Amino acid sequence: MVTSPRTLFLQLSILAAARASADRSPKISWNPCNETEFPSAIPNDCGTLGVPRDYSNLDSEPLALDLLRVPALSQPSNGSILFNFGGPGEPARATLSAYGPILQQLTGAQYDLIAFDPRGTGKTLPFSCHTNELDTLAYMLDRAPANSSDTALARGWARGDVNANHCLENANETISLLSSTFVARDLISVVDALDEDGQLRYWGEELTP
Ligand SMILES: *[C@@H]1O[C@H](CO)[C@@H](O)[C@H](O)[C@H]1NC(C)=O
Ligand SMILES: *[C@@H]1O[C@H](CO)[C@@H](O)[C@H](O)[C@H]1NC(C)=O
Ligand SMILES: *[C@@H]1O[C@H](CO)[C@@H](O)[C@H](O)[C@H]1NC(C)=O
Ligand SMILES: *[C@@H]1O[C@H](CO)[C@@H](O)[C@H](O)[C@H]1NC(C)=O
Protein backbone atom coordinates (compact mmCIF):
# COMPACT_ATOMS: atom_id res chain seq x y z
CA MET A 1 0.00 0.00 0.00
CA VAL A 2 1.29 3.43 -0.95
CA THR A 3 1.06 6.01 1.82
CA SER A 4 -0.25 9.31 0.46
CA PRO A 5 1.59 12.45 1.49
CA ARG A 6 -1.50 13.58 3.39
CA THR A 7 -1.70 10.32 5.41
CA LEU A 8 2.02 10.51 6.08
CA PHE A 9 1.65 14.07 7.29
CA LEU A 10 -1.18 13.03 9.63
CA GLN A 11 0.86 10.13 10.96
CA LEU A 12 3.85 12.39 11.58
CA SER A 13 1.64 14.96 13.32
CA ILE A 14 0.22 12.30 15.62
CA LEU A 15 3.72 11.02 16.38
CA ALA A 16 4.92 14.55 17.09
CA ALA A 17 1.95 15.20 19.37
CA ALA A 18 2.55 11.96 21.28
CA ARG A 19 6.21 12.82 21.68
CA ALA A 20 5.43 16.38 22.80
CA SER A 21 3.04 15.11 25.48
CA ALA A 22 5.58 12.53 26.68
CA ASP A 23 8.27 15.22 26.84
CA ARG A 24 6.17 17.48 29.01
CA SER A 25 7.09 15.65 32.18
CA PRO A 26 10.78 15.77 32.96
CA LYS A 27 12.66 12.51 33.38
CA ILE A 28 14.81 11.43 36.29
CA SER A 29 18.39 10.54 35.42
CA TRP A 30 19.67 7.85 37.78
CA ASN A 31 23.29 7.29 38.77
CA PRO A 32 24.85 5.03 41.40
CA CYS A 33 24.62 6.71 44.82
CA ASN A 34 27.65 7.90 46.74
CA GLU A 35 28.44 4.82 48.86
CA THR A 36 29.78 6.92 51.73
CA GLU A 37 26.52 8.80 51.94
CA PHE A 38 24.25 5.77 51.39
CA PRO A 39 26.04 2.55 52.35
CA SER A 40 24.04 -0.53 51.34
CA ALA A 41 24.56 -4.24 50.72
CA ILE A 42 22.70 -3.93 47.41
CA PRO A 43 22.92 -1.40 44.56
CA ASN A 44 21.26 2.00 45.02
CA ASP A 45 20.69 4.68 42.39
CA CYS A 46 20.31 8.36 43.17
CA GLY A 47 18.61 11.02 41.08
CA THR A 48 16.92 14.38 41.26
CA LEU A 49 13.65 15.70 39.88
CA GLY A 50 12.66 19.34 39.52
CA VAL A 51 9.11 19.96 40.81
CA PRO A 52 7.19 23.18 41.39
CA ARG A 53 8.24 24.76 44.69
CA ASP A 54 4.70 26.14 44.98
CA TYR A 55 2.02 24.08 43.22
CA SER A 56 -0.40 27.00 43.51
CA ASN A 57 2.02 29.07 41.43
CA LEU A 58 3.49 26.88 38.69
CA ASP A 59 5.80 29.70 37.56
CA SER A 60 7.58 29.59 40.92
CA GLU A 61 11.24 28.63 41.03
CA PRO A 62 11.56 24.80 40.91
CA LEU A 63 12.51 22.65 43.85
CA ALA A 64 14.94 19.73 43.41
CA LEU A 65 13.64 16.53 44.98
CA ASP A 66 16.43 14.12 45.95
CA LEU A 67 15.48 10.51 45.16
CA LEU A 68 16.97 7.10 45.86
CA ARG A 69 16.03 3.90 44.02
CA VAL A 70 16.65 0.26 44.87
CA PRO A 71 16.29 -1.42 41.46
CA ALA A 72 14.28 -4.64 41.19
CA LEU A 73 16.38 -7.80 40.98
CA SER A 74 14.71 -8.82 37.71
CA GLN A 75 14.61 -6.18 34.99
CA PRO A 76 12.52 -4.88 33.40
CA SER A 77 10.76 -4.36 36.72
CA ASN A 78 7.01 -4.57 37.22
CA GLY A 79 7.03 -0.87 38.05
CA SER A 80 7.96 1.26 41.06
CA ILE A 81 6.76 1.44 44.65
CA LEU A 82 7.17 4.81 46.38
CA PHE A 83 7.96 4.92 50.09
CA ASN A 84 7.49 7.60 52.73
CA PHE A 85 8.71 6.55 56.14
CA GLY A 86 7.47 9.56 58.09
CA GLY A 87 9.34 10.80 61.12
CA PRO A 88 8.29 13.52 61.30
CA GLY A 89 11.30 15.25 59.86
CA GLU A 90 13.35 12.25 58.73
CA PRO A 91 14.86 12.24 55.24
CA ALA A 92 13.62 9.11 53.45
CA ARG A 93 16.64 8.25 51.26
CA ALA A 94 18.81 7.09 54.17
CA THR A 95 15.99 4.89 55.49
CA LEU A 96 15.35 3.26 52.10
CA SER A 97 19.08 2.70 51.65
CA ALA A 98 19.35 1.05 55.08
CA TYR A 99 16.20 -1.08 54.77
CA GLY A 100 16.49 -1.73 51.01
CA PRO A 101 17.46 -5.42 51.28
CA ILE A 102 14.55 -6.32 53.58
CA LEU A 103 12.03 -4.16 51.72
CA GLN A 104 13.13 -5.78 48.48
CA GLN A 105 12.43 -9.22 49.96
CA LEU A 106 9.09 -8.12 51.39
CA THR A 107 7.92 -6.75 48.03
CA GLY A 108 9.04 -9.73 45.97
CA ALA A 109 12.10 -8.10 44.36
CA GLN A 110 10.18 -7.40 41.11
CA TYR A 111 9.49 -3.72 41.82
CA ASP A 112 11.88 -0.78 41.86
CA LEU A 113 11.71 0.81 45.32
CA ILE A 114 11.88 4.61 45.40
CA ALA A 115 11.92 7.23 48.15
CA PHE A 116 12.59 10.96 48.14
CA ASP A 117 13.45 13.24 51.02
CA PRO A 118 10.11 14.97 51.66
CA ARG A 119 9.93 18.77 51.65
CA GLY A 120 11.27 20.11 54.94
CA THR A 121 13.74 17.22 55.41
CA GLY A 122 17.27 16.59 54.16
CA LYS A 123 18.50 19.21 51.71
CA THR A 124 15.03 19.64 50.18
CA LEU A 125 13.67 22.96 51.45
CA PRO A 126 15.10 22.65 54.97
CA PHE A 127 13.13 24.52 57.58
CA SER A 128 12.92 25.06 61.30
CA CYS A 129 10.53 27.10 63.41
CA HIS A 130 13.42 27.85 65.77
CA THR A 131 16.60 29.86 65.29
CA ASN A 132 18.51 28.24 68.14
CA GLU A 133 18.80 24.80 69.73
CA LEU A 134 17.53 25.99 73.10
CA ASP A 135 14.13 26.89 71.60
CA THR A 136 14.05 23.54 69.77
CA LEU A 137 14.83 21.71 73.01
CA ALA A 138 12.17 23.64 74.94
CA TYR A 139 9.66 22.72 72.24
CA MET A 140 10.63 19.03 72.44
CA LEU A 141 10.70 18.76 76.24
CA ASP A 142 7.91 21.02 77.42
CA ARG A 143 5.12 18.50 77.04
CA ALA A 144 2.89 17.02 79.69
CA PRO A 145 -0.52 15.35 79.57
CA ALA A 146 -3.25 17.96 79.93
CA ASN A 147 -4.61 16.24 83.06
CA SER A 148 -1.23 15.86 84.79
CA SER A 149 -1.76 18.97 86.97
CA ASP A 150 -4.11 21.92 87.49
CA THR A 151 -1.92 24.13 85.31
CA ALA A 152 -0.89 21.61 82.61
CA LEU A 153 -3.65 22.50 80.17
CA ALA A 154 -3.05 26.26 80.32
CA ARG A 155 0.70 25.71 80.13
CA GLY A 156 0.35 23.44 77.08
CA TRP A 157 -1.86 26.03 75.39
CA ALA A 158 0.65 28.83 76.08
CA ARG A 159 3.51 26.66 74.79
CA GLY A 160 1.53 26.02 71.60
CA ASP A 161 1.06 29.77 71.19
CA VAL A 162 4.81 30.41 71.58
CA ASN A 163 5.64 27.65 69.08
CA ALA A 164 3.13 28.92 66.53
CA ASN A 165 4.61 32.42 66.82
CA HIS A 166 8.14 31.06 66.36
CA CYS A 167 6.99 29.33 63.17
CA LEU A 168 5.31 32.50 61.92
CA GLU A 169 8.42 34.60 62.64
CA ASN A 170 11.08 32.18 61.42
CA ALA A 171 9.48 29.93 58.83
CA ASN A 172 6.54 31.87 57.46
CA GLU A 173 7.88 31.77 53.89
CA THR A 174 8.60 28.04 53.92
CA ILE A 175 5.85 26.53 56.01
CA SER A 176 3.09 27.09 53.45
CA LEU A 177 5.13 25.01 50.97
CA LEU A 178 5.35 21.96 53.25
CA SER A 179 1.76 20.73 53.45
CA SER A 180 0.61 17.17 52.75
CA THR A 181 -1.18 18.43 49.64
CA PHE A 182 2.18 19.46 48.15
CA VAL A 183 3.90 16.22 49.21
CA ALA A 184 1.04 14.29 47.55
CA ARG A 185 1.61 16.32 44.37
CA ASP A 186 5.35 15.54 44.60
CA LEU A 187 4.46 11.83 44.65
CA ILE A 188 2.39 12.27 41.49
CA SER A 189 5.18 14.32 39.86
CA VAL A 190 7.51 11.38 40.45
CA VAL A 191 4.93 8.94 39.01
CA ASP A 192 4.60 11.18 35.91
CA ALA A 193 8.38 11.41 35.51
CA LEU A 194 8.75 7.62 35.82
CA ASP A 195 6.29 7.32 32.91
CA GLU A 196 5.30 3.71 33.72
CA ASP A 197 1.57 2.91 33.90
CA GLY A 198 0.63 6.23 35.56
CA GLN A 199 -0.30 4.43 38.80
CA LEU A 200 0.99 5.43 42.24
CA ARG A 201 2.00 2.35 44.24
CA TYR A 202 2.66 3.73 47.70
CA TRP A 203 3.87 2.30 50.98
CA GLY A 204 4.07 4.75 53.82
CA GLU A 205 2.53 6.16 56.85
CA GLU A 206 -0.45 8.39 56.49
CA LEU A 207 0.55 11.94 55.61
CA THR A 208 -0.67 14.30 58.32
CA PRO A 209 -1.97 17.78 57.49
C1 LIG B 1 30.62 11.12 48.92
O2 LIG B 1 30.12 11.62 50.13
C3 LIG B 1 31.12 11.99 51.06
C4 LIG B 1 30.44 12.34 52.37
O5 LIG B 1 29.40 13.26 52.19
C6 LIG B 1 31.93 13.14 50.47
O7 LIG B 1 32.95 13.51 51.37
C8 LIG B 1 32.53 12.71 49.14
O9 LIG B 1 33.18 13.79 48.54
C10 LIG B 1 31.45 12.17 48.22
N11 LIG B 1 32.08 11.59 47.02
C12 LIG B 1 31.75 11.96 45.80
C13 LIG B 1 32.44 11.23 44.70
O14 LIG B 1 30.92 12.83 45.57
C1 LIG C 1 6.87 -9.05 36.75
O2 LIG C 1 8.18 -9.16 36.28
C3 LIG C 1 8.60 -10.50 36.04
C4 LIG C 1 10.06 -10.49 35.68
O5 LIG C 1 10.55 -9.26 35.29
C6 LIG C 1 7.73 -11.09 34.95
O7 LIG C 1 8.11 -12.44 34.73
C8 LIG C 1 6.27 -11.02 35.36
O9 LIG C 1 5.45 -11.46 34.32
C10 LIG C 1 5.89 -9.62 35.76
N11 LIG C 1 4.54 -9.62 36.34
C12 LIG C 1 3.61 -8.76 35.95
C13 LIG C 1 2.30 -8.85 36.68
O14 LIG C 1 3.81 -7.91 35.10
C1 LIG D 1 -5.08 11.29 82.56
O2 LIG D 1 -5.96 10.70 81.61
C3 LIG D 1 -5.57 9.40 81.20
C4 LIG D 1 -6.45 8.95 80.05
O5 LIG D 1 -7.83 9.13 80.38
C6 LIG D 1 -5.61 8.46 82.40
O7 LIG D 1 -5.22 7.17 81.99
C8 LIG D 1 -4.66 8.98 83.45
O9 LIG D 1 -4.76 8.21 84.62
C10 LIG D 1 -5.00 10.44 83.82
N11 LIG D 1 -3.94 10.97 84.69
C12 LIG D 1 -4.21 11.68 85.77
C13 LIG D 1 -3.03 12.16 86.57
O14 LIG D 1 -5.36 11.92 86.15
C1 LIG E 1 3.07 35.08 56.37
O2 LIG E 1 2.95 34.72 55.00
C3 LIG E 1 1.68 34.96 54.44
C4 LIG E 1 1.64 34.40 53.03
O5 LIG E 1 2.89 34.00 52.57
C6 LIG E 1 1.41 36.46 54.47
O7 LIG E 1 0.13 36.71 53.94
C8 LIG E 1 1.47 36.93 55.92
O9 LIG E 1 1.33 38.34 55.97
C10 LIG E 1 2.79 36.55 56.57
N11 LIG E 1 2.70 36.88 57.98
C12 LIG E 1 3.70 37.43 58.65
C13 LIG E 1 3.44 37.73 60.08
O14 LIG E 1 4.78 37.69 58.14
| Number of compact structural domains in the chain | 2
Question: Which residue's alpha carbon is at the smallest distance from atom 1 of ligand 4?
Answer: 172
Q: Is residue 96 part of a domain?
A: yes
Residue 114's domain spans which residues? 27-125+179-204
Residues 183 and 82 in one domain: yes
Residues 120 and 138 in one domain: no
3-state secondary structure the chain: CCCCHHHHHHHHHHHHHHHHHHHHCCCCCCEECCCCCCCCCCCCEEEEEEEECCCCCCCCCEEEEEEEEECCCCCCCCCEEEEECCCCCCCHHHHHHHHHHHHHHHCCCCCEEEEECCCCCCCCCCCCCCCCHHHHHHHHHCCCCCCCCCCHHHHHHHHHHHHHHHHHHHHHHHHCCCCHHHHHHHHHHHHHHHCCCCCCCEEECCCCC
Q: Is residue 8 part of a domain?
A: no
pLDDT tens for residues 61-100? 899 999 999 999 999 999 999 999 987 778 999 999 999 9
Residues 109 and 150 in one domain: no
Q: Is pLDDT at 5 greater than 90 in this prediction?
A: no
Pocket lined around ligand 2, Cβ cut-off 6 Å: 74, 76, 78, 110
- Identify the pLDDT of residue 13: 43
Residues 93 and 142 in one domain: no
Residues 69 and 154 in one domain: no
Instruction: Enter the pTM of the model.
Output: 0.76
Residues 138 and 37 in one domain: no
- Identify the pLDDT of residue 88: 73
- Identify the pLDDT of residue 22: 47
- Identify the pLDDT of residue 7: 41
Q: Is residue 17 part of a domain?
A: no
Mutate which of 57, 60, 172 for ligand 4? The one with the most ligand atoms within 8 Å of its CB, which is 172
- Identify the pLDDT of residue 111: 97
User: Chain-wide mean pLDDT for the chain?
Assistant: 86
pLDDT tens for residues 114-166? 999 999 888 888 788 889 989 888 888 888 899 999 999 999 999 999 989 99
Residues 55 and 74 in one domain: yes
Q: Is residue 15 part of a domain?
A: no
pLDDT tens for residues 177-204? 988 899 999 999 999 999 999 999 999 8
Give the CATH number, domain containing residue 93.
3.40.50
Question: Which residue's alpha carbon is at the smallest distance from atom 10 of ligand 1?
Answer: 34
Residues 113 and 57 in one domain: yes
- Identify the pLDDT of residue 173: 84
